[in-house]
Amino acid sequence: MNTLKFAFLAATVASSVLLTACGKDDNETGKVLATVNGDKIYEGQIAKQMEGLPPQLVQGREGQIRQQLVDALIQQELIKQEAKKLNVADEAAFKEQLEQAKQQLMAAAVVQKKVDEVLTPEVLQQAYDATKAQRAFPAVKARHILVATEAEANNLIKVANPSNFSQLAAEKSIGPSKSNGGELGWFRREAMVPEFANVAFATPAGQVASKPVKTQFGWHVILVEDKNDAYIPPFEQVAGELKQELSQQVAQGYMAELRKGATITYSDAISATAVEPAAAPAQ
């Protein structure tokens, strides 16, 4: 994984922790994964965080992401404990910022209700049908077997073929995808580290790559199952992204409706002609 992708992954994981930190008690289930000065971090908390991450980001990196989530929750717990020790919650500046955050959260919640009301699955499906051709991209469908050494990878290449590849992956791979036969599904070039992507896109469909690929994770044996120069991801994969794309448009229209239906008067201290309509809350 290159530096940019790692930074994006780390930022997404950190955002997930911050956005879903509430309701901790409901998720204190399963194994205890860590303790911070006696306070426990549970498997249920990590599972909840994982649910909020995009599937295409998680696939093939489950172990790495779980570790990042645990570390992020440890940091969050340390800060919470320190804040309690310093009585931060009693400071005037904190209370002021808390009120501001409350107002922002209320605004976001109101807009989100409208977005959910307008952008129904049927509406999103119609939007997908109208724009899916524009979402096409060159893609490869592949499986891989991850092993620790080049020698192991070369030995696998000698015996691997499309008919036995899934079984070999289940038996030999040390990667998280071994449980589903090394399946990676369809992916664009940018979704993989360059070394892996270059070989996958250069290998003909229906063939095992002639040479193994070395990445920071180990040595990969790659089977390219199919290729498509204009692959269109299914609706289920892009529904969340599509909803996000349309949310700002819905929010702006909603704010315009609220202003139109409200009685708004300006004092003599401000000219109504100089006031621009308020922008919709950021999503």
Q: Residue 38: what are its φ and ψ, rounded to 5°? A: 95, -20
Sign of CA dihedral 8, 12, 15, 21: negative
Q: What burial letters (b/e) apply to 79-116, b meaning 16+ CB within 10 Å?
A: eeeeeeeeeeeeeeeeeeeeeeeeeeeeeeeebeebbe
Task: Using DSSP bridges, classify how beta strands 137-147 and 183-187 pair: parallel, antiparallel or unpaired.
Answer: antiparallel
Quote the CA–CA distance of 76 and 215 in Å, as a whole number: 32
Helix axes 43-51, 62-86, angle to 10 degrees: 110
**In whole numbers, what is the pLDDT of the chain averaged over residues?**
86
Largest CA distance in the chain: 84
- Whether the per-residue pLDDT at 258 is higher than 80: the answer is yes
With beta carbons less than 8 A apart as the criterion, state whether 173 and 223 touch: no
pLDDT category at 88 given cuts 50, 70, 90 is very high
CB 143 within 8 A of CB 174: no
Which among 20, 244, 241, 237 is positioned nearest to 115, based on CA atoms?
244
Question: Can you list the alpha helix ranges (DSSP code H) found in the chain?
Answer: 3-19, 43-51, 55-58, 62-86, 92-118, 121-131, 150-159, 165-172, 194-202, 235-260
Please give the span between the terminal C-alpha atoms of the chain, in angstroms, as a whole number.
29
Which one is predicted more confidently, 4 or 134? 134
Res. 60 pLDDT band, cuts 50 70 90? low
CB 182 within 8 A of CB 225: no
**Domain extents for the chain?**
3-86, 135-231
What pLDDT score does 48 carry?
86
Mapped onto helix, strand or coil, the DSSP state of residue 54 is coil
94-121 pLDDT per residue, tens: 999 999 999 999 999 999 999 999 999 9
Q: Which helix (H) or strand (E) holds 139?
A: strand 137-147
Could you tell me which CATH number the domain at 135-231 has?
A: 3.10.50.40
